Amino acid sequence: MHPPFPFNIYLLAAAGAGLLTALSIPAWRAVCRRIGLIDDPGHRKIHATPVPLAGGFAVFTGLAGVLLGGWLLVAFGAVPSDAVDRLAHGLARRGPQLAAILAGATGMMLLGAWDDRVELSASVKFGGQCLIALLVAAAGVRVTLFVPSVVFSYAVTVLWILTVTNALNFNDNMNGLCAGLGAVAAAHFAVFAANHGQYLVAAFGCATLGALLGYLPFNYPRASVFLGDSGSHLVGFLLAILAMLPHFYSERRGLTDRLDVLSPLIVLAVPLADLAQVVVVRTWHRRPFWIGDTNHLSHRLVRLGFSKAAAVAVLCLAAALMGWAARH
């Protein structure tokens, strides 16, 4: 029987990603100002001055920096000996998939940045998302839902990645909301993975959580930086992947119960419900569902009398409670 996995590795992943994200924000903010990646005030905007769209780059810096650093520490045996074998085993078996995930995250971030810069058509953006999702699925990161069909697996995986990515993209409508929902979901996925011996997944989830927490003070309740489409695409993609990653490594076979496939839907219930209701409302009113409006759950709470900061806090609390329910 293995000794308990060192909990401080999870703390190191979260703290390291948070610190790297926070430290990189001033530099990315300056870069975005220089190249014109700025969100100007305008229609449906709640800010009065231009804000750099640097959050996604900063979150990616924190996450990628910790993952690269962690890989180097494991490769050189610079982590506790009782953790090296288990982490190295997972990395050796799933290295190509992890590389594909980072490549997919990079692709989603750059696609979003392109959209931030030139406002892509919905068809181009959707096509880019599909291509990235297909490439990740081709690398072996797929949902099966216990159906022995490769075609079905590809279709469900692409649909899942597109749905979650766009759900988080749609929820990037108030300060702190997208990143807050992302942090809550990442925390739940990390805890679930840690409790079931999924060490790589837990570390990945903790790094994602830390990177988002490192960004939030710069965005909530007042914003000096926004995620932009680059950041919301990145957050959504990471959460979609975190929901599938428990298949990466386990010390026990048969870990995943058939009912466990519903857990990600519950953890992500708030952004998915928001996506569903705005699509229904826009379709009902014969408007393109990809054209933004003020009928999101956050806007509805504000119309009920909540402040914007309180509305975000309520939705994040609801997401936390749903995640807790999914694990119990």
- Residue 223's pLDDT band, with cuts at 50, 70 and 90, is very high
- Please list the alpha-helical segments (H only) found in the chain: 7-35, 55-75, 81-118, 122-138, 150-170, 177-195, 199-215, 228-242, 263-267, 269-284, 297-303, 308-326
Phi-psi region of 79 (alpha: psi -120 to 50; beta: other; left: phi over 0): beta
> How many whole angstroms separate alpha carbon 66 and alpha carbon 209?
12
With contact defined as beta carbons under 8 Å apart, do 122 and 290 qualify? Answer: yes
Amino acid 196: pLDDT = 78
- Residue 99's pLDDT band, with cuts at 50, 70 and 90, is confident
Amino acid 244: pLDDT = 87
Nearest CA among 174, 180, 269, 112 for reference residue 277: 269
What average pLDDT does range 85-100 have in this prediction? 67
What average pLDDT does range 169-192 have in this prediction? 95
Amino acid 229: pLDDT = 95
- Residue 250's pLDDT band, with cuts at 50, 70 and 90, is very low
With contact defined as beta carbons under 8 Å apart, do 13 and 205 qualify? Answer: no
With contact defined as beta carbons under 8 Å apart, do 181 and 219 qualify? Answer: no
- Residue 98's pLDDT band, with cuts at 50, 70 and 90, is confident
> How many whole angstroms separate alpha carbon 187 and alpha carbon 39?
29
Q: What is the distance, to the nearest Å, from the Cα of residue 24 to the centroid of all Cα atoms in its chain?
A: 19
